[in-house]
Amino acid sequence: MTAGADLGSSPVATVTDDPIGDPAGVGQGGWGATDEWAEDTGAGPEPADTASPEEDAPQLYFPTVEVFVRELLAPTYRRSLDGRHRTWCPQWWRHAEAIVRLDALWRAWEHLRLEPALGISVWLRDHADPHMATLLDPDGPFKGCSPEKGHDARLKPLPCDEPPVGLF
């Protein structure tokens, strides 16, 4: 993984080896769901009052955004990439907007996978579909990237003027 691709994962969250038994998280209550319901409803044992924040933090299924993109998003989110309608850059980590959007998708997935009833539906509707539509748009951040041409550096940052002093 290249430097800068992980925009600061939580220092207290840890990676699990295989929290649910299947890589897509579809089995056992849906996309990484755990038995936390029993604890939340009082049906299970009482949580210890002496638990540290590290012990209370949910564990990450994917340790980095790069692993999330490679192991879940790319194999799951399949589209025709004919260049006229959709674009994708296999070196997505060279594009700041792509890093931010994919990191947001990863973090939202890690949170919503723990909601067994609607979590992944919400993730698809509210996160994956809008972000992926922007990423795959012919005028999106990968505009001009191709195996033949490489990475097009003609896309410039949006212009910004200095705000009036004291406005913020």
Instruction: Print pLDDT tens along the chain (168 aa).
Output: 444 444 444 333 344 443 333 334 433 333 333 333 334 444 444 444 555 666 677 899 999 999 999 999 999 988 887 767 778 898 999 899 999 999 999 999 999 999 999 999 999 999 999 999 999 998 899 887 876 666 766 678 888 999 999 999
Q: Residue 41 has what pLDDT?
A: 41
Residue type (1 letter), 134 = T
CA distance 127 to 138: 19
Range of the domain at 125: 63-151
Looking at the chain, which runs of residues are DSSP E strands?
Answer: none
Asked if residue 103 belongs to a domain, the reply is yes
21: left (phi over 0), alpha (psi -120 to 50) or beta: left
Asked if residue 105 belongs to a domain, the reply is yes
Asked if residue 119 belongs to a domain, the reply is yes
Place of tokens 């191709």: 146
Planar angle of CA 13, 74, 125, nearest 5 degrees: 75
Asked if residue 128 belongs to a domain, the reply is yes
Asked if residue 33 belongs to a domain, the reply is no
Asked if residue 47 belongs to a domain, the reply is no
CA distance 108 to 15: 16
Asked if residue 73 belongs to a domain, the reply is yes
- How many domains is the chain partitioned into structurally? 1
Q: Is the pTM of this model over 0.75?
A: no
Asked if residue 34 belongs to a domain, the reply is no
Q: Residue 58 has what pLDDT?
A: 80
